[in-house]
C-alpha cells in the first residue's frame, strides 16, 4: 500500500495506517532530528513531536503521497524553533564529540578528514549547522530551507557560504601544525 | 581541499553518521502515548491576526507578527505609502478583491490606502502569500481601518477559532461578526499573571507582546465578514462603536 492510500486511511480514522507510515519513516525522521539538534535525546523528542503533530493534523494534508516531505518539513520547523531557543539540556558535544563512548558518531567515520570536518561542524553556531544539515544531508534547496527556517533565501545562501568558509578555516587550521611538523 | 571535494565530504560525513542511527523502540510508544493523551488542540489565530493588522497600521513600518506555536500571519507594510482612493481601488483589484471602496464609512472619511503583504503559515508549516489592501478612514483624528484580502486557505477551523465573544448578524446572506476585544500590549519581558492566563482562555483578554514598551490597554472593535472568497475587516481601537453601528457600516459594503 502506498503513502497516499495509507494517508487516506488515516484521514478516515485508521490508526493502523499510521503505524505503517511510522515504520516507514521513523529512521528518516530520527536521523534528521539528531543531526539538526546534535543530540540523540533531543532528536528522539523532536521526531516524536513531528509524528504526533502530523498524526493530529493529517486531515490538512491534501496530497497523501507527500507524507514524507511533509513529515520532515514539520520536523525541521520544530527543530529550528527548538534550536533557536538555544537552551538545550544536552550539549552538541554529546553528539559531535569524538568522546570515549562507543555510540559517538565520529567512530563510524572512515577518514581523518571526515573526523576533522565533523569536529569543525560542531563549532558552527546553530543557525549555520541547521542550514548545513538541511542542505547537505536532506538535500533541501535554498528556497526550501528559507521556508523551513523563516528567513530569506539570501540569508540561507549567506549562512551556507559562511559555514563553508568556517569549515574550511577549521580544516586548514587543523592541518597547519601537521604541515609545519612535516616541513620542520 | 577544493570546494567540490569539501561539499562531497560534508555530505558523506553526515550520511555516514546518520546511517548508524536507528529510531529507538521507545519512540513509538512515546508517540502513541502522546496521541492518546493529547488534549484537543485549539489555536486562536483570529485574535492575533487582528493585532497584526492593527500593528501594521499603527506603526506603519515593516513589521512581522507571529502567532504562538508554529503558525501565524506575518505582515509587512510601508510607513510612507499613501494611496489615494482610485489607486487603492486599483490595488484592491490587483489583490483579487472585488469591492468598490466608498469615500465614507459611516461618519469616517477616506484618508489613504496602503498595501500589506502577508504570509500565512499554518501549524504544519504550510505557507500562503496573500496581498492585503488597507484603507484608513478618519473622523476628527480618530481612525478606522478597512482591510480586504483573498481569504486564507491554509488554516483549519481550529486555527481560525477566536475565543473573543462575538455578536453576529446576517446581511444579504453574509454573516457579519462583531467583536469588542480587550487588548493588552505588553513589553517583551512581561510575565502574564494567572488571572490574565485565565482571561485569555475565556477570550476576555488578548495579550500582545508586539510593539509596546509599557503595558497599555485598548479596546479593539471590529466587524468581520467573508464574501466571494475574500475576507473583510473594519476595525479600530477605542472607537466606541457598538455592534449595530458597525453592522450598518459593513452592510453598506455587502450590498
Total domain count for chain A? 2
- Which has the higher per-residue pLDDT, A111 or B216? B216
The answer to whether B14 contacts A114, with C-beta atoms less than 8 Å apart, is: no
- Which has the higher per-residue pLDDT, B236 or A175? B236
Q: Do A61 and A8 belong to one domain?
A: yes
Query: A56-70, A166-180, B122-136, B180-194: lowest mean pLDDT where?
Result: A166-180
The answer to whether A30 contacts B21, with C-beta atoms less than 8 Å apart, is: yes
In degrees, to the nearest 5, what angle opens at C-alpha B86 toward C-alphas B80 and B90? 85
User: Does B188 have pLDDT greater than 80?
Assistant: no
Q: Do A103 and A178 belong to one domain?
A: yes
Interface residue B19 vs chain A (CB under 8 A) = yes
Sign (positive or negative) of CA dihedral B14, B15, B17, B23: positive
User: Does B57 have pLDDT greater than 70?
Assistant: no
* Whole-angstrom distance, CA of residue A3 vs CA of residue A55: 13
Q: Do A43 and A99 belong to one domain?
A: no
* Whole-angstrom distance, CA of residue B226 vs CA of residue B126: 22
Q: Do A57 and A126 belong to one domain?
A: no
Q: Do A63 and A118 belong to one domain?
A: no
* Whole-angstrom distance, CA of residue B125 vs CA of residue B154: 9
User: Does A17 have pLDDT greater than 80?
Assistant: yes
* Whole-angstrom distance, CA of residue B56 vs CA of residue A46: 34
Residue of A nearest to B37 (CA): A52
Q: Which residues of A touch B124 (CB under 8 A)?
A: 53-54, 57, 60-61, 70, 73-74
Q: Do A104 and A82 belong to one domain?
A: no
Q: Do A17 and A81 belong to one domain?
A: yes
Where b means 16+ CB within 10 Å and e means fewer, A78-110 reads: bbbebbeeeebeeebebbbbeeeeeebbbebbe
Question: Among A86, A116, A143, which residue terminates a domain?
Answer: A86
Q: Do A123 and A152 belong to one domain?
A: yes
Helices (H), B123-239: 157-160, 194-202
The answer to whether A57 contacts B16, with C-beta atoms less than 8 Å apart, is: no
- Which has the higher per-residue pLDDT, A78 or B125? A78
Q: Which residues of A touch B28 (CB under 8 A)?
A: 19, 22, 26
User: Does A29 have pLDDT greater than 60?
Assistant: yes
Q: Do A114 and A80 belong to one domain?
A: no
Q: What does the H/E/C string look like for A120-158? A: HHHCCCHHHHHHHHHHHHCCCCHHHHHHHHCCCHHHHHH
Q: Which residues of B touch A56 (CB under 8 A)?
A: 35, 38, 41
Question: Among A86, A117, A142, which residue terminates a domain?
Answer: A86
Q: Do A78 and A25 belong to one domain?
A: yes
Residue B145: per-residue pLDDT: 94
Model confidence pLDDT, tens digit, residues B107-158: 999 999 999 888 887 766 677 888 999 999 999 888 999 999 998 888 776 6
* Whole-angstrom distance, CA of residue A95 vs CA of residue A113: 18
| Facing A108 at nearest CB: one of B20, B127, B156 | B20
- Cell digits for A54? 502530523
pLDDT band, residue A12 (cuts 50/70/90) = confident
Residue in A98, A107, A46 with CA at minimum distance from that of residue A74 = A46
Query: Is beta strand B206-208 parallel, antiparallel or unpaired with respect to B174-185?
Result: parallel
Q: Do A149 and A170 belong to one domain?
A: yes
Query: A9-13, B20-24, B206-210: lowest mean pLDDT where?
Result: B206-210
Q: Do A178 and A99 belong to one domain?
A: yes
Interface A–B counts its CB contacts (< 8 A) at 117
SS3 call for B187? coil
Distance of CA A70 to the CA centre of its chain: 15
- Cell digits for B153? 486557505
The answer to whether A60 contacts B126, with C-beta atoms less than 8 Å apart, is: yes
Residue of A nearest to B9 (CA): A114
| Facing B12 at nearest CB: one of A26, A56, A114 | A114
Question: Among A30, A56, A86, which residue terminates a domain?
Answer: A86
Model confidence pLDDT, tens digit, residues A136-163: 998 889 988 887 777 788 899 999 999 9
Model confidence pLDDT, tens digit, residues B146-184: 999 998 888 776 667 777 778 999 998 899 999 998 988
- Cell digits for A63? 496530497
Interface residue B15 vs chain A (CB under 8 A) = yes
Interface residue B26 vs chain A (CB under 8 A) = yes
Residue of A nearest to B157 (CA): A60
Kindly state the average pLDDT of the residues B248-254. Answer: 94
SS3 call for B159? helix
- Look up the CATH number of the domain holding residue A128: 1.10.10.10
Residue of B nearest to A25 (CA): B23
pLDDT band, residue B234 (cuts 50/70/90) = very high
Per the structure, the complete domain to which residue A61 belongs is given by: 3-86
pLDDT band, residue A41 (cuts 50/70/90) = confident
Q: What is the DSSP string of B44-83?
A: -HHHHHHHHHHHHHHH-SS-----SSS-EEEEEE-TT--B
Contact, B152 vs B231, CB < 8 A? yes
- Look up the CATH number of the domain holding residue A43: 1.10.1740.10
Residues 6+ apart with CB under 8 A from B210: B51, B55, B63, B65, B185
Bridge partner list, B169: B176
Amino acid at each position: 500500500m502506498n503513502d497516499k492510500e495509507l494517508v487516506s486511511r488515516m484521514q478516515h480514522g485508521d490508526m493502523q495506517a499510521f503505524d505503517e507510515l511510522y515504520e516507514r519513516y521513523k529512521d528518516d525522521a530520527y536521523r534528521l532530528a539528531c543531526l539538526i539538534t546534535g543530540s540523540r535525546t533531543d532528536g528522539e523528542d523532536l521526531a516524536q513531536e513531528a509524528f504526533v503533530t502530523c498524526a493530529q493534523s493529517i486531515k490538512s494534508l491534501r496530497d497523501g503521497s507527500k507524507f514524507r516531505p511533509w513529515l520532515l518539513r514539520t520536523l525541521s520547523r520544530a527543530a529550528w524553533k527548538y534550536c533557536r531557543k538555544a537552551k538545550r539540556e544536552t550539549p552538541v558535544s554529546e553528539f559531535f564529540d569524538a568522546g570515549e563512548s562507543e555510540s559517538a558518531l565520529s567512530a563510524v567515520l572512515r577518514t581523518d578528514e571526515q573526523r576533522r570536518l565533523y569536529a569543525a561542524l560542531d563549532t558552527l553556531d546553530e543557525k549555520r549547522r541547521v542550514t548545513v544539515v538541511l542542505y547537505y544531508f536532506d538535500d533541501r534547496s535554498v528556497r526550501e530551507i528559507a521556508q523551513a527556517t523563516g528567513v530569506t533565501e539570501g540569508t540561507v545562501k549567506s549562512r551556507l557560504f559562511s559555514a563553508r568558509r568556517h569549515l574550511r578555516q577549521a580544516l586548514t587550521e587543523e592541518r597547519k601544525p601537521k604541515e609545519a611538523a612535516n616541513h620542520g | 581541499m577544493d570546494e567540490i571535494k569539501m561539499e562531497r565530504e560534508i555530505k558523506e560525513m553526515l550520511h555516514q553518521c546518520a546511517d548508524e542511527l536507528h529510531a529507538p523502540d521507545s519512540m513509538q510508544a512515546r508517540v502513541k502515548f502522546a496521541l492518546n493523551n493529547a488534549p484537543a488542540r485549539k489555536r486562536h489565530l483570529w485574535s492575533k491576526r487582528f493585532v497584526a493588522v492593527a500593528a501594521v497600521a499603527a506603526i506603519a513600518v515593516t513589521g512581522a507578527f507571529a502567532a504562538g506555536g508554529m503558525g501565524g500571519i506575518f505582515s509587512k507594510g510601508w510607513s510612507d505609502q499613501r494611496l489615494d482612493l482610485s489607486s487603492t481601488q486599483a490595488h484592491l483589484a490587483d489583490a483579487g478583491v472585488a469591492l468598490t471602496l466608498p469615500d465614507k464609512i459611516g461618519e469616517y472619511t477616506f484618508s489613504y490606502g496602503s498595501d500589506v503583504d502577508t504570509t500565512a503559515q499554518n501549524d504544519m508549516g504550510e505557507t500562503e502569500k496573500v496581498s492585503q489592501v488597507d484603507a484608513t478612514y478618519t473622523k476628527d483624528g480618530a481612525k478606522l481601518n478597512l482591510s480586504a484580502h483573498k481569504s486564507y486557505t491554509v488554516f483549519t477551523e481550529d486555527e481560525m477559532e477566536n475565543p473573543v465573544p462575538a455578536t453576529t448578524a446576517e446581511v444579504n446572506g453574509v454573516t457579519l461578526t462583531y467583536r469588542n476585544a480587550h487588548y493588552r500590549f505588553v513589553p517583551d519581558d512581561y510575565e502574564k499573571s494567572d488571572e490574565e492566563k485565565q482571561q485569555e482562555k475565556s477570550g476576555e483578554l488578548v495579550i500582545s507582546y508586539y510593539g509596546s514598551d509599557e503595558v497599555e490597554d485598548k479596546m479593539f472593535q471590529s466587524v468581520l465578514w467573508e464574501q466571494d472568497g475574500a475576507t473583510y475587516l473594519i476595525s479600530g481601537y477605542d472607537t466606541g462603536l457598538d455592534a449595530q453601528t458597525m453592522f450598518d457600516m459593513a452592510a453598506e459594503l455587502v450590498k
